[in-house]
C-alpha cells in the first residue's frame, strides 16, 4: 500500500468512529510499522474489519497487523499460489531462494542464507534474514552445499 492510501484509510477509520484523525507524523509512525501490507483486497478487508469493531483500536498498528494475519490465515491457498507464481528461474540457488553451507570445524553446523540473485525466498523469510554470495560464504570459511 502507498502512504497516501494508508492516510486516506486512517482518516476514514477515525471519521467512522467520530474521532479527530491523527497528525501526519503519527500517521507516518504507524505506516512504517504496517507498510508491508499490500494494496487491494487484503488492505480493503483489513480496513473493513477495523470499522466493524465496537470502538477505535487503541493501537492502530497492531489492529492492522492482526487484520493482516487473519487475512493470510483465511487466504492460505491464494497466498501460496501467488508466491509460487512469483518464483523465478535461478541457477545460483537451484530455484530455492536459499544458499546452504556448512562449517569444517569439530562441530559441523549447517547455515542458510538468502540468495542474493533472486527473490524466491519471499514468503519464507523477511529481508532481515542474511543474504550472502557463494564467494562471501567461502570467505567466511564455509563450504557451500549444492
DSSP secondary structure of 41-87 = HHHHHHHHHHHTSSS--S-HHHHHHHHHHHHHHHTHHHHHHHHHHT-
User: Cell for 66?
Assistant: 492482526
The values of phi and psi at residue 66, to 5°, are -65, -40
User: Cell for 91?
Assistant: 541457477
Q: How far apart are the first and last CA of the chain?
A: 37
Whole-prediction pTM: 0.55
Q: Inform me whether the pLDDT recorded for 31 exceeds 60.
A: yes
The values of phi and psi at residue 62, to 5°, are -65, -35
Q: In what side-by-side order are the strands of the sheet with 110-114? A: 110-114, 98-102, 143-145
Residues 104-136 pLDDT 10s: 877 878 888 888 888 777 777 777 778 899 999
Amino acid at each position: 500500500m502507498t502512504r497516501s492510501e494508508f492516510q486516506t484509510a486512517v482518516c476514514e477509520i477515525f471519521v467512522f468512529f467520530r474521532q479527530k484523525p491523527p497528525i501526519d507524523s503519527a500517521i507516518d509512525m504507524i505506516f512504517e510499522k504496517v507498510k508491508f501490507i499490500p494494496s487491494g483486497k487484503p488492505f480493503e478487508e483489513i480496513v473493513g474489519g477495523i470499522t466493524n469493531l465496537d470502538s477505535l483500536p487503541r493501537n492502530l498498528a497492531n489492529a492492522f497487523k492482526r487484520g493482516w494475519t487473519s487475512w493470510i490465515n483465511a487466504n492460505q491457498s491464494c497466498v501460496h499460489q501467488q508466491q509460487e507464481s512469483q518464483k523465478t528461474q535461478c541457477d545460483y540457488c537451484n530455484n530455492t531462494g536459499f544458499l546452504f553451507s556448512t562449517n569444517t570445524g569439530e562441530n559441523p553446523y549447517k547455515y542458510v542464507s538468502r540468495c542474493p540473485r533472486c527473490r524466491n525466498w519471499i514468503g519464507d523469510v523477511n529481508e532481515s534474514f542474511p543474504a550472502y554470495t557463494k564467494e562471501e560464504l567461502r570467505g567466511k570459511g564455509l563450504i557451500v552445499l549444492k
